[in-house]
Structure 1
């Protein structure tokens, strides 16, 4: 039974009240499966009225054979099969240009099934919504596409698109500025778009919504704790490997890591 007077519970509830869509943990919960909200978001950012979103998933994992997987905040698909990865970033470092390139490449690498042709690669969009103007050019939105520089910057039209939305520019009366204003609201009553405000209200004001949000924050807290604990175990194992006196089995036992992970560390050390 939940103790509503418990200090930890009160701290989590205070955090829920302060969450905004620009906070990734809240954004992913509000947009997961929210086709109406995703369609509104993408239609405004892309300035299109012909977009039909068919699927929206939050925290989608895309695998890399070399081990550098990516967790996508939002992955949406439209009726033409185009993919849209939307990321919210409060820290400038999280919206690095190379990261946008990497996300784009991961979309491509996961798009083709065995036997499909290169021509079957569909349009892809990586969209970073940032709290600050990370590109520093004082524009509300930046569209990054490939061009042929020797031909008066003729569009290359390879279907890859990277977009940065500057959340710092939200004071005007445009649809994009109103959207960005919604991303920084803590209360549903202050928002412009119903498709977004209804979700915010649900996860902040309804019993079931708050319960789910509470669980999401607890899961994130536990994940951070486990990652920290695992990092400590790896550090311990590396020190034991450097000593060269213990067997891999003993190192696994003392560090608390699986034997396969210790073998992986040992192989990396000698590579």
Structure 2
């Protein structure tokens, strides 16, 4: 389905049709559904194979870093034991996921450890990454990462639990069935506890479909704004290259003109060079 502004702002039937086209592997729909604490509790319990009770969920949770790379988490949940769960869904294999997870962990640790607190106060953290592809190529639905001493094979517990889930493999297990549901999230499926109830609410009720379309519309506005900044960055880069400016000068100009971090300026510059390289071939 092609989602247009007219459909986003149109009749409730149009909005419900848009909402019905989404699945839980779409990060915006996933974020909206995970706001339901019961649905989030069920999803985490099934993924981690343990009973837990979510008491708080923040979705599209932004951690701003004005001197570096900011992040926006799909969902950040807290259970009744004050353990934290960061859940991410990814359809395209565009990043090296362990490095991304590493940065997310660092961002969360910095956020939740206040000045003068002891490191022991860091909350227990579960990093959960759900991918549509088997990027580890092990043919497994679930990959658990452990910190271990090579020489003694002793596991080191630093309070971080790292999991990668693969929705590309269907081995017939109950976990695989849940992952397949994330890819094909029917509102009429009743096999997954509270999760389909939340899906139904956002696909088949007027209020839910309206909130879903509002989320998609806001996402569109964000992407449009990002596109404008990127376009301006490319203009600056092209003009400065024509004058013979070096890399350092171009990055400095991007930072000052666009009021962005050095890391973001480098990202724009590398993307521009990659794009121009393809155009020359």
Structure 1 length-normalised TM: 0.80
In structure 1, what is the equivalent of residue 114 of structure 2?
113
* Aligned equivalent of 1:208: 207
- Structure 1: runs of 5+ lacking an equivalent: 1-5, 245-259
The Cα of 1:14 is off from its aligned counterpart by: 4.6
Kindly tell me: are residues 108 and 207 of structure 1, through their superposed partners in 2, closer, same or farther at Cα, counting changes over 3 Å?
Answer: same
Residue number in structure 2 paired with 1:47: 49
What SS does structure 2 have at the residue aligned with 1:64? coil
Contact 2:16 / 2:205 at 8 angstroms: preserved in 1? no
Structure 2 unaligned regions, length at least 5:
1-5, 244-254, 267-281
Displacement of 1:210 in angstroms is 1.2
Flag the 1:92–1:117 CA change in 2: closer, same or farther, 3 A: same
Query: After the TM superposition, which residues 11-90 of structure 1 pair with which residues of structure 2 at under 5 Å, given as runs?
Result: 14-32=17-35, 34-49=36-51, 51-90=52-91
* Shift in CA distance, 191/97, structure 1 to aligned 2, threshold 3 Å: farther
Query: Aligned to 1:22, what secondary structure does the other structure show?
Result: coil
**CA separation in 2, counterparts of 1:264 and 1:225?**
18
| 2:137 alignment partner, SS class | coil
Deviations 1:195-220 (A, max 9, x none): 11111111111111111112222222
263 and 21 in structure 1: CA distance in 2 versus 1, 3 angstrom threshold: closer
* Aligned-residue offset at 1:234: 2.9
Q: CA deviation at 1:239?
A: 5.2
Q: What's the CA shift for 1:128?
A: 0.6
Distance 1:16 1:184, change over 3 A: same
8 Å CA contact 2:16–2:203 kept in 1: the answer is: no
Note if contact 1:143-1:162 (Cα within 8 Å) is conserved in structure 2: yes
Which region of structure 1 is more displaced relative to structure 2, 190-199 or 131-140?
Answer: 190-199
1:167, CA displacement in angstroms?
0.9
SS of the aligned residue for 2:151 comes to helix
1:95, distance to aligned residue in structure 2 (A): 5.8
Residues 95 and 130 of structure 1 are in contact (CA less than 8 Å); yes or no, is this contact kept in structure 2? no
Q: Say if 1:89 and 1:130, in contact at 8 Å, map to a contact too.
A: yes
User: By how many angstroms is 1:185 displaced?
Assistant: 2.3
Aligned-pair CA distance for 1:30: 0.7
Q: Identify the residue that residue 257 of structure 2 maps to in structure 1.
A: 262
Matches within 5 A, 1:81-160: 81-94=82-95, 96-151=97-152, 153-160=153-160
Q: TM-score, normalised by structure 2?
A: 0.78
- Aligned partners of 2:85 and 2:128 also within 8 Å: yes
Distance 1:263 1:55, change over 3 A: closer
Q: Contact conserved, 1:58 with 1:72, CA < 8 A, in 2?
A: yes
CA distance in 2, matches of 1:42, 1:178: 14
Question: What's the secondary structure of 1:189's corresponding residue?
Answer: coil
What SS class does the counterpart of residue 110 from structure 1 fall into?
Answer: helix
Task: Let me know the Cα RMSD of the aligned residues.
Answer: 2.7
Q: Identify which of structures 1 and 2 has the higher relative contact order when contacts are C-alpha pairs closer than 8 Å and 6+ apart.
A: 2
Q: How many residues align?
A: 245
Kindly state the Cα deviation for residue 17 of structure 1 after the two structures are TM-superposed: 2.2
- The verdict on how the C-alpha distance between 1:81 and 1:59 changes in structure 2, with shifts beyond 3 A counting, is same
